[in-house]
Amino acid sequence: MCLLGWTGDNNDPDNFMNVLYGANAYSLGTAGNYAFYTNNTSQAFLSAALGTYDSEKRAEYYKKSQEMIHEDAGWVYLAHSMQTVAFRINVQGYDLHPTSRKFFYPISIE
């Protein structure tokens, strides 16, 4: 069992897919595959995704890999954090970003 916090900070699925689920990422003390999850077919899809620049193909490869990881229950997620922010009522236009980055340029004060 482990407690892990992770934020995909560059908007690329490989920022976490190979790091957290990859067959090359489960050496003790050196990587993020703390569950020591391995599935050769899933890994083949992860490797194929890294081998193409075609975004539609990459999405399909990652989707297939994710389905296998889910089915195998290699990791069991107990909770997910929620982002919260508070502003004065006259601050408008702030959107939470999925990578937790802060972009203040669309904000206006009414």
Is pTM beyond 0.75? Reply is no
* Sign of the dihedral defined by the CA atoms of residues 96, 2, 74, 23, in that order: positive
Q: 63 pLDDT band (50/70/90 cuts)?
A: very high
Domain assignment of residue 44, given as a range: 13-72
Express as a percent the part of the chain with pLDDT over 70. Answer: 95
Tens digit of each residue's pLDDT (9 = 90 or more) over 86-106: 889 999 998 887 777 788 888
pLDDT at 29: 67
Count of the separate structural domains present in the chain: 1
CB 70 within 8 A of CB 88: no
Tens digit of each residue's pLDDT (9 = 90 or more) over 24-48: 887 776 667 888 889 999 999 999 9
Q: What angle, rounded to 10 degrees, do the helices at 40-50 and 55-72 form?
A: 160
- 92 lies in some domain: no
